[in-house]
Amino acid sequence: MDVSGRLTTLTRIGFATRGILYLVIAFLIIRVGRAEDPTGALEYVGDGAGHVLLSIMAVGLCGYGLWRLADAAFDIERHGTDRKGIVERIGAGISGIVHLLLTWQAVNLIRGLGARGEGAQAGTQVALDLPGGTLLVMLGAVAVFGVGVIQLVKAIKGSFLKYLAPQIASQSWVQWSGRAGYGARGIVFMICSYLLLKAGMTDQAGQAGGMAQALSWLTSPADIVVGVGLFGFGVFGLIEARYRRLHDVAMADMRTILK
């Protein structure tokens, strides 16, 4: 298997890992009433399953992160060069960075160092301390809101299905698991946007929050509804691990990545 093929395999493991993390997040909020983000889900898996599964998940997250960065750099998913394509490639780059950070957190868990990073509140405080920090935070809130809108549009249009093999994309249960998942993620991003906007308006970083804080902000039964949606996204992640059509990275581009 060549380098591109190995990266594709690792990417599929990454899709499966992401799916598992969202299934854990959904389980915790639906059955336990505990709000967590992917980092918290990693900690939960590490406590219950040990280092072997964490190691596999770390490798998968790393492969997925590298693949997303390669997509941002070389447009391997054929997004195009129009405005929509550029936005999708920027999103791919951000996703790649996020998943490489999750890889680092998983490695820290394996080493027994803990996975918690600075968090949304600490990052917001850094932004607020900069000149024009309030405006920066509020612009960040607008950007996060935009991401939420994009997720909801995907849920409505079902545009995520174009990346799947046709025989599985036509299945109604696959379509609805993806729609529920992207819809739930859209709601979570919009709540994060609201919390970030509130932090900017009050000049208090403690008002900001990520997924865990957004899920905690929801009250019953809205939290259960969103939890069910996130469960759908977890299922969809496992489907993508098996049936997503992945384009190979050109070897010239691969050599660039490895330099």
> Higher confidence at residue 248 or residue 143?
143
pLDDT tens column, 109-148: 888 766 555 567 777 888 888 888 888 889 999 999 999 9
Tell me which DSSP letter residue 113 carries: S
pLDDT tens column, 206-222: 888 889 999 999 988 99
Residue 95, classed as helix, strand or coil, is helix
Number of residues written out for the chain: 259
Q: CA–CA distance from 1 to each of 4, 9, 151, 257 (Å)?
A: 8, 10, 35, 18
Determine the Cα–Cα distance for residues 244 and 16; give it in Å rounded to an integer: 11
The answer to whether the CB of 236 falls within 8 A of the CB of 11 is: no
Tokens standing for residue 137: 């935070």
- Residue 209: what pLDDT? 84
- Residue 78: what pLDDT? 80
Nearest to 158 by CA among 189, 139, 182, 186: 182
- Please tell me the pTM assigned to this model: 0.88
Q: What is the mean pLDDT of the chain?
A: 86
pLDDT tens column, 30-85: 998 899 989 888 888 888 667 888 888 899 899 889 888 988 888 888 877 788 88
Place of tokens 């990346």: 163
Nearest to 133 by CA among 190, 202, 209, 195: 202
